[in-house]
Structure 1
Amino acid sequence: MRQFALVIVLLCSLFNLPAQSVQWASKVLTFSSEYTDPLLGKEYRALHILGRPSKYPKFAASPSAWQSLTPDNPGGEFIIVSFDTAKVIKQVAIFENFGAGSITRVDALDENNRLFLLKEFPNGYALANGQLTRVRLASPTPFKVKSIKITLNSMRVQGYSQIDAIAISDVDTPIEDRIKLEVDPNAYLVKENLGTAINSKFNEICPVVSPDGKKLYFTRWKHPDNLGANKNQDIWVANLNDKQQWDKASLFPSPINNDENNAVCGISPNGKTMLLNNVYGKDGQMEKGVSLSFLLRTGEWSFPKPIRIQNFKNKSEYSEYTLAPNGKVLLMTTETKDSYGGKDIYVSFLKADDTWTEPKNIGSSVNTGESESTPFIAPDGQTMYFSSSGHVGYGNNDIFLTRRLDDSWLNWSVPENVGPVVNTNQWDGYFTVSAKGDFAYFSSVENSMGAEDIYRIKIPDKVKPQTLVQVSGQVINQLSKLPVASKILVRSRASADTMQIDYDPYLGDFSFMWPSKKPFYLEIKSKGFLMKRVNLDFRDQISFSESKQIIGLTPLELNKQFKVPNLNFAQSKSEISKESFASLDEIVSILQDNEGLNVLIEGHTDNQGDWDENLKLSNERVEQVKGYLIKQGIESSRIQAKGWGGTKLLSTSTAEEKRRLNRRVEFSFYVK
């Protein structure tokens, strides 16, 4: 071990220093001990020293911090953490949540793991039980710092000591400036209490607004009009009138409401599926879990159907749920032995057998040593709002937002506090947003009529979800113009995001929401009709918009020639492009669904060039198509292929845009 003299680094090194960057500890290398309890999850573990602090600027004991196994260890304690990038540093910040005053020295390790003393601390250096302890260097380190070691004498302070976070920086600007909370409420619009039509002296929580913004569902507790002798939680609903005001709320009917606790967790983008807390028994009894109810043709809601989640466990009495817009991803709060602390947010995926996968913890970017609660996935499918006391906030529990970084649902951005108008010094939660992206709704006790009330604000730009487009419409028979029941697959052209919609004309138009910045296409299928693909792009829309689509499907007729849509070949080539597979798969699907059908594939070229070469090329192309169908499992005996060269022209024009019509592949179905 050696102590380095702080020296002035070479000018060239100074000029090469990057702009200020604060790095938070990203990996625990080793430690002397950590607190464990068989009745807890991962509270107080060393991993909680990573990332940003959880309690600054209000320091307090927290399960979301590193705490040693015993309170007073004569042998001392230590921890070594590393950072994503080795860098020259000018300061270190140590967030001592509780029992501050135990640190004896801070050392830096270079890229070769050599140890250099940065500072020694005398007994009695702490000014408070919780504080930000700084190491300021007179000059930048003459080496790149890879890791920091904190050594403690736990006998200096009676009882436990906690360290919440460690950060390094290459300039003198205080590190805490990078995490300061917004203190000016005027940075946001004033929150609006929804008034006596919605709120009362009783608890109003869990607001959920319908996709069209015209219905507000929420939960009331102990209200005298609630069902049952105990007046447990019941669901209430209010309608938005022509004056853009909420009419007086009414009690939602049975079977959704019963004598037990009831709550709406979410509404699907088409407004026809409701996510409900608890599992409903036919006898009126409830179990922990979550259910779905579906809007019937009569306008009533179906008896709730339980969602079956594999190996679902919950040590907590409570759990909350939110369903992604595609209906295939479920986020929930639950507490298990693997939780970081209290309730964490987990994710589960819908399987082909209509059950859901075992929940996975979405990770330490979001989950902390304290409880996370009331998650809500915005209609964009990317932005999640949740409540937590484990991130830097204004009070007991604050509302934060995080954005999904990939399709795994396990990688999320650093949570952002949504601001001081929403968040108070008390408990805040149940933050939801309308699909239009105009208003956010949440519960708060600040200046309420009694207990918790429901408020709304105009959504500040920094916490808005992605701009959405609402696509709605009908699928019709192209010939008769009558509606056709069909399946609509919505698929992103840039990612794996998909959504399946079952269109039933008796239930009205289909409807779904989609982020406007993501181009996508629709694949529409119905038995007895040819599949149709529709490309849509709304990237020029900067605010919520609506698009009405009337999609015509062509009936499948025997012995009638159809052009294979989107089947493309390179000039004078016979290889099938990957973009054409979807169209050919539709032919495969029709043949698989109708074993008595056979298919004739006919290839055509224009009449330019050598006649024999054109005939050869048309035969090669249809043989490529035939080979693809066989590869997908269609018997060769059911497929005929015929090339016609340039003998069957659709246009005799010499203009390229007209001649292109002649370069085609057609198919027709027939019965032997």
Structure 2
Amino acid sequence: MPEPKLRYKIFGSLILSLVLATSSLAQAPELGECEQNVEELPSSQLPKAIRAWNQKNFRETERYLEKAIRFDPTYADALYLLGELKLRQREIRKAQFLWSKLMEVCPNYKAEIAYFLGVMYMEDNKLDEAIPLIEQFLANPERDFGYDKEAKAALEEAKKKQALLRNEVVFNPKPVQRVSTTADEYLATISPDQRTLYFTRRSRKTDRKSGPAASARMVEEFCASVLQNDGTFEEGAPLPSPFNTSYNEGGPSITADNTELYFTVCEDLDGYKNCDIYYTEKDMLGYWSTPRSVGDHINRKDSWESQASVTANGDWLYFTSDRKGGIGGLDLYRCKRKEDGTWSAPELLDARINTRRDEKSPFIHSDSETLYFTSNGHPGLGGFDIFYARATDSSWQAPSNIGYPINGEKDDLGLFVSLDGKTGYFSSNTLRANTGWDLYSFEMPEEARPEEVFLLQGTLDVAEGEDIQDASIKIKNLKTKEITEVKVDAQTGSYARVIEKKEASDYIVKVEKKGAAFSSRYISNSELSMKPTVEADLQLAPMEVGREYTLNDIQFASNSTQLNAASKSIIEEFVLFMKENSALRADIQGHTDNVGDQQSNLQLSKDRAKAVYQYAINLGVEASRLSWHGYGESRPLADNEDEAGRAKNRRTVFVITAR
């Protein structure tokens, strides 16, 4: 997406600010102090140079000063004046050379020379030379204190830059195979479930409808690539309608349930390239709706809104804008989702994030707390560097530079990060020769990784006669007892939610609806440590007398009736269900596969059903409301010939006997 022309010029160099800070060329500057014995021939050139300067005859000024230095290369006054002249004429390299010679000859000639020269060395990334010079200036009691604020800021920036360069992070970017082609790939993101890459591909194509003489032209297409079974992405293809038709779209961001896609649409408005944020929704058949604007309170005709990043759970929308009322040229904003599904008025991120220069390319990780963005206003190594900041209760922590050599002297843009925080992605046209823009991945530095999260997703298996309307999914942290409610898609019955991992926490997921039977799943911390995405399908079925319902994840060790922690947690939730439905009566039933002796299996199933029954009674369910039976291997649900079938047959269920 193109970026706007800024309303004012932003100088990209500390040197230019120094030039602006010095006085005009009208009068020759005051000389410094240096004890030297200068011979008459070079010293006689100085009055002539000063007189020519005051007469604004700068060509003659330069001639006299160069003549003096030719006669005496160590003449401090001549080195200073010619360096000052070159600085004001913006010939920075020449000024730097002359003042470097001056500092060798007379280190205390003028306090400000140390500062100016230090800044010049900063621009050359010669930080070991720059930092002592700026420190020398700040320690000089005869300095011009008017430069203190700038000098202290420059010193802080130089030290941060030096620390970054001295503490390299591991950076071994690799092209994303298949997706990175001979065409250009950029403006990319990955879905929270890590299954789909969305990106823009630019290639040369011929419009066959224009006849045999049609010429080829560069075409941008909004594309998607799906993860294959071997763990790699396919090459990807253009998205079907409504994309790639009348819209110039790009810069995508998608919610965890893969049903809301946000992107940027640009159009020409009387010569002004205006960009706005649009979104589309996926229906139950998998088709995307016609894109719509997020609203005129966000998109404006007189400003540029772009680079949207939506949180995985769809709670916040971040974007870049050059609208009036910001802090700098390009600023980062965010909107909060309201109860009616619309977005609030944009909120300008505070001065911890936004600077008087430019911030753009926001990416809010699925943890909803770690914000990655690019900036040329925070201390960095090049033009635009990548930074990250973590949300606090009321604001943001100070942004951190992601590190060198991820950041370098060139602009670094478009970072996005995997769900587990271990992999970063970006686009570049400089890492491989003759390939144009490609998509790359790299291992994220430990300190720049987001908070640990997991994606819980699943589908409600809706029984005949039941309706998804008013059904909700609740996720309970068994350590903190915190409960998170998740929206269920009314059309598809699917749901998804990113949850922050709590140390050594297990979770219960259950469906709740008035009149619906108990259905839950247990998710262990050990399972979460192996993969960041967990599937947990649930059943939504009406409570009916005589109907059987599975108590998922109640498991026993081989030939054991001992309830483990997971089983107890499931039973505890089942007891809550029984207490909320006080008229309900149920029979706990145990079943086995056909491995082993039939009579032994029958007895084992009875003992296990009794163990579940007894634990529920101990938790407060009246004995008159529960009963128990075991049926061994006599009532299989599947073929016992393979392990998958036997696993289905080993189960604990409850059957409603009255309600």
Q: Which has the higher helix share?
A: 2
Structure 2 residue 195 is the aligned partner of structure 1 residue 214:
yes
Q: Is 1:40–1:337's contact at 8 Å kept on the other side of the alignment?
A: no
TM-aligned CA deviation for residue 327 of structure 1: 0.6
Mapped to 1, the partners of 2:207 and 2:172 lie a distance apart of 31
Match in the other structure for 1:180? 162
* Correspondent of 1:239 among 218, 226, 240: 226
TM-aligned CA deviation for residue 323 of structure 1: 0.4
What SS is found at the alignment partner of 1:126? helix
What SS is found at the alignment partner of 2:286? coil
- Listed as ranges, the matches of 1:604-643 within 5 Å are none
Match in the other structure for 1:200? 182
Structure 2 residue 413 is the aligned partner of structure 1 residue 429:
yes
Match in the other structure for 1:474? 459
Question: Across the two proteins, how many residue pairs are aligned to each other?
Answer: 460
Mapped to 2, the partners of 1:355 and 1:344 lie a distance apart of 22
Closer, same or farther: CA 429–556 of 1 in aligned 2, 3 Å: same
Structure 2 residue 645 is the aligned partner of structure 1 residue 661:
no
Match in the other structure for 2:338? 351
TM-aligned CA deviation for residue 348 of structure 1: 0.6
- Listed as ranges, the matches of 1:229-628 within 5 Å are 231=218, 233-278=220-265, 288-308=275-295, 310=297, 312-313=299-300, 316-317=303-304, 319-406=306-393, 408=394, 411-448=395-432, 449-476=434-461, 486-488=471-473, 500-504=486-490, 507=492, 509-517=494-502, 524-526=511-513, 528-529=515-516, 538=525, 541-542=528-529, 544-553=531-540, 555=542
Q: Report the AA paired with residue 214 of structure 1.
A: R
1:22-62, Cα deviation, whole Å (9 max, x unpaired):
xxxxxxxxxxxxxxxx9569x89xxxxxxxxxx9xx84557
Match in the other structure for 2:117? 128
Closer, same or farther: CA 659–473 of 1 in aligned 2, 3 Å: closer
Q: Is 2:277–2:306's contact at 8 Å kept on the other side of the alignment?
A: no
Q: Is 1:191–1:421's contact at 8 Å kept on the other side of the alignment?
A: no
Closer, same or farther: CA 121–515 of 1 in aligned 2, 3 Å: farther
Q: Report the AA paired with residue 620 of structure 2.
A: R
Q: Which has the higher contact order (CA 8 A, sep 6+)?
A: 1
What SS is found at the alignment partner of 1:219? strand
TM-aligned CA deviation for residue 315 of structure 1: 5.4
Mapped to 2, the partners of 1:516 and 1:238 lie a distance apart of 28
What SS is found at the alignment partner of 2:306? coil
Q: Report the AA paired with residue 224 of structure 1.
A: K
TM-aligned CA deviation for residue 346 of structure 1: 0.7
Closer, same or farther: CA 358–475 of 1 in aligned 2, 3 Å: same
TM-aligned CA deviation for residue 205 of structure 1: 1.5
Closer, same or farther: CA 470–153 of 1 in aligned 2, 3 Å: closer
TM-aligned CA deviation for residue 300 of structure 1: 2.6
Q: Is 1:328–1:349's contact at 8 Å kept on the other side of the alignment?
A: yes
Mapped to 1, the partners of 2:437 and 2:258 lie a distance apart of 27
Moved more, 522-531 or 188-197: 522-531
1:529-581, Cα deviation, whole Å (9 max, x unpaired):
378888867488445334333434563679xxxxxxxxxxxxxxxxxxxxx9x
Mapped to 2, the partners of 1:296 and 1:193 lie a distance apart of 33
Question: Between Structure 1 and Structure 2, whose CA radius of gyration is higher?
Answer: 2
Closer, same or farther: CA 184–242 of 1 in aligned 2, 3 Å: farther
Mapped to 2, the partners of 1:658 and 1:501 lie a distance apart of 34
Closer, same or farther: CA 221–390 of 1 in aligned 2, 3 Å: farther
Q: Is 1:324–1:381's contact at 8 Å kept on the other side of the alignment?
A: yes
Q: Is 1:374–1:430's contact at 8 Å kept on the other side of the alignment?
A: yes
TM-aligned CA deviation for residue 370 of structure 1: 1.6
TM-aligned CA deviation for residue 475 of structure 1: 3.1
1:121-165, Cα deviation, whole Å (9 max, x unpaired):
845443427265327999xxxxxxxxxxx96458xxxxxx98275
What SS is found at the alignment partner of 2:460? strand
TM-aligned CA deviation for residue 373 of structure 1: 1.1
Closer, same or farther: CA 225–244 of 1 in aligned 2, 3 Å: farther
TM-aligned CA deviation for residue 188 of structure 1: 1.0
Q: Is 2:510–2:519's contact at 8 Å kept on the other side of the alignment?
A: yes
Mapped to 2, the partners of 1:164 and 1:430 lie a distance apart of 32
Mapped to 2, the partners of 1:233 and 1:382 lie a distance apart of 33
Mapped to 1, the partners of 2:342 and 2:455 lie a distance apart of 29
1:490-536, Cα deviation, whole Å (9 max, x unpaired):
588979996642245x7475333322227677574446437888886
Mapped to 2, the partners of 1:475 and 1:430 lie a distance apart of 36
What SS is found at the alignment partner of 1:400? strand
1:49-82, Cα deviation, whole Å (9 max, x unpaired):
xxxxxx9xx84557xx9x999999x9xxxxxxxx
Mapped to 1, the partners of 2:254 and 2:315 lie a distance apart of 14
Q: Report the AA paired with residue 164 of structure 2.
A: E
TM-aligned CA deviation for residue 456 of structure 1: 1.0
1:436-465, Cα deviation, whole Å (9 max, x unpaired):
434221012323435432211122322222
Q: TM-score, normalised by structure 1?
A: 0.55
Mapped to 2, the partners of 1:251 and 1:480 lie a distance apart of 38
Moved more, 251-260 or 193-202: 193-202
TM-aligned CA deviation for residue 328 of structure 1: 2.0
TM-aligned CA deviation for residue 368 of structure 1: 1.3
Q: Is 1:476–1:484's contact at 8 Å kept on the other side of the alignment?
A: no
Mapped to 2, the partners of 1:508 and 1:277 lie a distance apart of 29
1:162-221, Cα deviation, whole Å (9 max, x unpaired):
8275599xxxxx99656534337974141012356424354x221112333332211134
Closer, same or farther: CA 426–362 of 1 in aligned 2, 3 Å: same
Mapped to 2, the partners of 1:664 and 1:417 lie a distance apart of 65
Structure 2 residue 191 is the aligned partner of structure 1 residue 191:
no
Q: Report the AA paired with residue 327 of structure 1.
A: G
Closer, same or farther: CA 194–500 of 1 in aligned 2, 3 Å: same
Q: Is 2:192–2:312's contact at 8 Å kept on the other side of the alignment?
A: no
Mapped to 2, the partners of 1:659 and 1:354 lie a distance apart of 40
Match in the other structure for 1:22? none
- Could you tell me which runs of 5 or more consecutive residues in structure 2 were left unpaired when the two chains were aligned: 1-5, 28-86, 91-107, 120-129, 210-215, 546-572, 585-610, 627-659
1:564-616, Cα deviation, whole Å (9 max, x unpaired):
xxxxxxxxxxxxxxxx9xx99x98xxxxxxxxxxx9999xxxxxxxxxxxxxx
Q: Is 1:330–1:347's contact at 8 Å kept on the other side of the alignment?
A: yes
Mapped to 2, the partners of 1:331 and 1:442 lie a distance apart of 19
- Listed as ranges, the matches of 1:6-17 within 5 Å are none
- Could you tell me which runs of 5 or more consecutive residues in structure 1 were left unpaired when the two chains were aligned: 1-37, 45-54, 75-97, 101-118, 139-149, 155-160, 169-173, 559-579, 588-598, 603-650, 667-672
